[in-house]
Chains A and B, each alone.
Chain A
């Protein structure tokens, strides 16, 4: 494991009642890179993110974060180490304001967070500007529309000051223009020094964002490499479109 590896998965395996959701997956994330994680529906992408964030425990395999095993750590301890995530099925705090939602991330994230509530609130406010939610500060989270909810998920995770950010379909359901905005935001996040693992179905976005791509299919890693090469790989095309009947 090289010095600039932030996360390493070795033989990660997850089963649900006999269904193998993730099977013997090994990969490494270099500090500062954007790794795209793609695959058809049900490939195990979200399960993989849940294994890394600690909401699911693997039946086998090892996870190393900054060289130390995090297998036994509960989700909050992983958050304190600097692992932040968003949820594909968004989980806002519905009856709290947008600002309070993001403040929770600042209060509890990396290193246990900023313990002073007014300082945490200021950090949250800055992130709402960054993610384009400044005009929604005082609205309740359950009053937001889809695109703004996606932005809120992102802002909440960023408020944790993560070293590694796991993004689970933050662009699903967005328009082309909104996708371009989010792509720019994610690039800025990477430029600030945060490593990113991104799950996305929008190929245009994944191609322009990712330094490398990993492809999952039926829980197995079937390809890994540069975006153009991976997306041209016959096995990947087959996984998405099925075998050509010639």
Chain B
């Protein structure tokens, strides 16, 4: 266990040293990858541990984005105040939305969260303070190293939180909810409190990632801030890596971001198609993600794939 933590610490330090290469493109890819990994990790808390497939996370991202943008562009406040405002809005939204719709289970929950992004996007597009549907321009800061290190700190914080969850009583409660909510509640798990807390934590990290991205990219509008395809990518990356594990979503999103960039730069026209094929193959051969694949291969060897195919009656 200690060796593992040390190894991870070493990885984090190595990642932190990457800007020393001075390669601007690499750093920009790095910021993108780190922010996506954070989003996947944040989704993992509500989707992977509690088992509630949230499509509301793009809303939390949008609120984090707009919180930061409004604070900086409209109120002329410092960046960190903007981050706090964005996170605050997202957390409030998670509590207000979570209390009623976390009563819904399975597909119904997913569908209810789907509407959230569109609603918030429409509201934002009609408010003067958020620049209506034209969007907001943030003060320009050319310091990619700072954004890179901020994104890394955020990813480490999110992963540290998930590592704590995985070992805690709270996390066991979330897993019990995912596995069988009826059984969990009669065994003493305060299911409402646990689910809302999980959604709040997820919203918090998602909003911070949105805030960092907004300042980095310097221009936001409702369509890009409340983009549902972003939410779909969070889900795909977390599922690809291994939902409900500590490192799966991070590794999954690093690999998928890398594969996507590789495809996009070599065969740009067919990149999306090939990326789709990668996802389909992953779902067929390793439906529980890379993490389960690693364990399964050690246990069963190639029979692991056969077992998955059989389990899905393909």
Contact = CB atoms under 8 A, between A and B. Distances in A.
B188 interface: yes
Contacts of A87: 182-183
Q: How many residues of B sit at the interface, in one of the four size bands?
A: 20 to 34
Contact of A93 (B167, B175, B192): B175
Nearest to B194: A76
B185 A93 contact: no
B188 A55 contact: no
A163 interface: no
A134 to B, nearest CB: 21
B180 A79 contact: no
Interface in A166-213: none
Interface string B162-174: 0000011100110
B190 A76 contact: yes
A117 B167 CA distance: 8
Contact of B173 (A78, A100, A107, A156): A107
Contacts, number: 82
Nearest to B175: A96
Contact of A75 (B168, B173, B179, B186): B186
Contact of A109 (B168, B179, B188): B188
B179 A76 contact: no
Interface residues of A, number: 35
A12 B197 CA distance: 35
Contacts of A80: 188
A75 B172 CA distance: 18
A161 to B, nearest CB: 10
A239 B188 CA distance: 36
Given A103-B172, A107-B172, A75 B185 contact: yes
B187 A79 contact: yes
Contacts of A94: 179-180
Nearest to B179: A93
Contact of B186 (A85, A95, A103, A110): A85
B27 interface: no
Contacts of A103: 172
Interface of B: 167-169, 172-173, 175-176, 179-180, 182-192
14 contacts: A74-B185, A76-B185, A76-B188, A80-B188, A87-B182, A91-B180, A92-B179, A93-B175, A93-B180, A104-B173, A107-B169, A113-B169, A117-B169, A156-B187
Interface of A: 53-55, 74-80, 84-85, 87, 91-96, 100, 103-105, 107-110, 112-113, 115, 117, 120, 156-157, 160
